Structures are given as structure tokens and as C-alpha cells.
């Protein structure tokens, strides 16, 4: 191999090395830029989420029904903005569901809660948050039940919620009501008995037992 061939090989190796460095730097910059952009989107989504949560709290404490509806509608709009920026954040969908429920829009609220609990979205919910979301969806199903289908779905949600947080008296009472509506009276009685074991003075459980044992 003569000197010219060695020189050309060295030049080629140098060019390859420079190309690898350039590609690595370009990919790194692209990744970092994307990460920064995602971080900014998430921060903006969180800002809208906090605004929406504050508006929902105002809706729930408003003296006038018209004010409550107005605040709830604004909360829903803030939730939509958060979802547009971070569609995989389950909390944003839960917020939208609660704001829609506050407006009396139960079918729409149920759809939003379905999205929050979908496999694609629910992964970032902690176990207590998952239990709470299941309870809320079960409540919406119970409130809109016009047949056995919704009642069965509500019972399934309440049972899943209790698997995560077994001693939730509120969920047990709602489960008892579902069983009553489904004419599963023995199961309803057991649910109310569990509530009374946790909260002996529970008005709802006592009323349920009175209906079952007139």
C-alpha cells in the first residue's frame, strides 16, 4: 500500500468519524428538543387542570344554581384545554367528567370517565385514584341506569373499587343500592351490614336495612 492509499484511507476514516459525531449530535438535539417541548406542554396542561379544579370547587360551593353551572362550564373548558395538551393524563379526563356531571350532563360525564379508565389512559392513576375513579363511574352508571346492563356495569365497578380499597363505606352503600335495584336482596343486606360494621351510625345503611327488613 503506497502513501497515497494510506492517506485516502485516513481521510475516509476521519470523514466517517465526523459524520457519526454529527448524526449523534443531531439526534441528541432533536431528542432534547422534543423532551423540552413535551415538558412545556405538560406544564401548560397542569396549569389548565389546576384552574379547572379551582373552578369546579367554586361550582360546588356556589349559592346560586346559575353561578354553579357557569363555574362548572368554565371548569369543563379548562379540562378540554388540558386534554388537548396532554390527552393521556387520566386526571384531566376525570376533571372533565366531574365538571360535566356538575352541569347535569350525565351521559357526557360517563363518556369522559370511560376515557379516564381506558387502558391507554389509566396507567398513570395511583391505586387510590383508580378506586376513586371506579367509584365515580359506578355512581354515574347508577344515576343513569334504565335497565340491568348499567346496573351490572356499576356493580362491577364498585366491586373493583373495593378490591383496591376494601373498607370504603360510601362505595359499599352505593353497591347496596345497586343490589337492591337488581333485586339481589341478600347481597344488598351484606353490603349494608359491612357499612354498619365500619360506621354504626350510617343513616344510608340504616335506611337500606329498614327497606330490606320492614
- Say how many C-beta atoms besides its own lie within 10 A of residue 2's C-beta: 6
What pLDDT shows up at residue 139? 95
Give the mean pLDDT of 157-175. Answer: 96
Taking the model in full, what pTM does it have? 0.79
pLDDT tens string 59-99: 999 999 999 999 999 999 999 999 999 999 999 999 999 99
Q: Is the pLDDT of residue 110 over 60?
A: yes
Kindly state the cell numbers that stand for 198: 365500619
Q: How far apart are CA 66 and CA 55, in angstroms?
A: 14
**Does domain 18-125 match CATH 1.10.150?**
no
Q: Could you give phi then psi for residue 103, rounded to 5 degrees?
A: -85, 0
Domain 128-214 class? mainly alpha
What pLDDT shows up at residue 23? 54
What pLDDT shows up at residue 40? 86
Tell me which residue has cell 428538543.
Answer: 33
Alpha helices in the chain (DSSP H): 3-61, 65-85, 90-102, 106-116, 127-143, 148-164, 169-181, 185-198, 203-212
Q: Could you give phi then psi for residue 203, rounded to 5 degrees?
A: -60, -40
* Structure confidence at residue 2 as a pLDDT band (50, 70, 90): low
What pLDDT shows up at residue 7? 47
Amino acid at each position: 500500500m503506497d502513501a497515497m492509499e494510506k492517506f485516502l484511507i485516513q481521510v475516509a476514516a476521519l470523514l466517517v468519524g465526523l459524520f457519526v459525531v454529527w448524526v449523534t449530535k443531531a439526534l441528541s438535539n432533536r431528542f432534547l428538543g422534543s423532551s423540552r417541548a413535551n415538558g412545556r406542554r405538560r406544564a401548560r396542561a397542569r396549569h389548565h387542570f389546576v384552574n379547572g379544579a379551582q373552578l369546579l370547587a367554586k361550582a360546588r360551593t356556589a349559592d346560586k344554581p346559575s353561578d354553579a353551572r357557569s363555574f362548572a362550564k368554565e371548569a369543563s373548558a379548562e379540562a378540554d384545554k388540558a386534554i388537548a395538551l396532554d390527552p393521556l393524563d387520566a386526571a384531566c379526563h376525570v376533571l372533565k367528567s366531574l365538571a360535566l356531571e356538575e352541569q347535569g350532563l350525565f351521559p357526557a360525564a360517563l363518556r369522559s370517565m370511560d376515557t379516564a379508565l381506558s387502558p391507554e389512559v389509566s396507567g398513570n392513576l395511583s391505586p387510590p385514584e383508580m378506586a376513586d375513579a371506579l367509584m365515580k363511574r359506578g355512581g354515574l352508571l347508577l344515576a343513569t341506569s334504565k335497565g340491568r346492563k348499567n346496573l351490572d356495569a356499576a356493580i362491577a365497578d364498585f366491586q373493583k373499587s373495593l378490591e383496591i380499597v376494601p373498607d370504603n363505606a360510601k362505595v359499599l352503600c352505593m353497591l347496596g343500592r345497586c343490589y337492591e335495584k337488581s333485586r339481589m336482596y341478600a347481597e344488598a343486606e351484606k353490603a349494608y351490614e359491612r357499612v354498619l360494621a365500619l360506621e354504626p351510625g350510617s343513616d344510608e345503611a340504616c335506611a337500606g336495612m329498614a327497606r330490606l327488613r320492614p
